[in-house]
Amino acid sequence: MMKKLAIGNDHTALEMKRELTEYLEAKGYEIVNVGTDEPVSFHYPISGYKAAKLVASGEVDGGIIICGTGLGISLAANKVNGIRCCVCSEPYTAKLSRQHNNSNMLAFGARVIGVEMAKMIVDAWLEAEFQGGRHQNRVDMIMEIEQTQDLKEAH
């Protein structure tokens, strides 16, 4: 159950970040803001990295990161060991990213979706639980690639 969340953004997502923070705080989530609040160009890897470090260290339960497309900021977050950040533009993928991939970070694009869709995606992601079982083996394989730059079963 995620209760404390990091939220990060670049300059494209100031308003979306603000509205989602309000939305989630009203639902009782604790939000740690690691994004920019200034309406000037901002390098998205900075907030993607900061949010990812908080998730990887266990200081927060999960992270939500937003840039124009969700792509750049998710790529940065996924470079931190232990992070599984998925870009989702609709709720089905967000739900499955938890159930099958045990995603611990969610990304989307403020230039791709509207804030009401973002709320539905966030709700689907937060409500879903990792299903384990056969999915655990596959997530373990992803983490093996991260840890060893190799995958035994691929040989």
Question: What are the residues binding ligand RB5 (CB under 6 A)?
Answer: 10, 12, 44, 67-69, 71-72
Nearer to ligand RB5 by Cβ, of 107 and 126: the residue is 107
Q: Residue 52 or 67: which CB sits closer to ligand RB5?
A: 67
Q: Is 67 a catalytic residue?
A: yes
Q: H or E stretch including 32?
A: strand 30-33
Query: One of 67, 85, 86, 88 is an active-site residue; which one?
Result: 67
Active-site annotation holds for 85: no
Phi, psi of 150, rounded to the nearest 5 degrees: -150, 165
List % helix, strand, coil for the chain (3-state, nearest 5): 50, 15, 35
Smallest distance, Å, CB 141 to ligand RB5?
27
Closest to ligand RB5 by CB, 16 or 126: 16
> Residue 153, exposed/middle/buried by CB under 10 A (0-12, 13-18, 19+)?
exposed
Contact present, 5 and 60 (Cβ < 8 Å): yes
Among the listed residues 57, 54, 60, the one whose alpha carbon sits nearest the alpha carbon of residue 29: 60
Dig out the tokens for 155 from the structure: 């040989």
CB of 138 to ligand RB5, least distance (A): 27
**Least spacing, CB of residue 36 vs ligand RB5, in Å:** 11
Closer residue to ligand RB5 in complex, CB, 74/102 = 74
The CB-of-73 to ligand RB5 minimum distance in angstroms stands at 6
- As annotated, the active-site residues are 67, 100
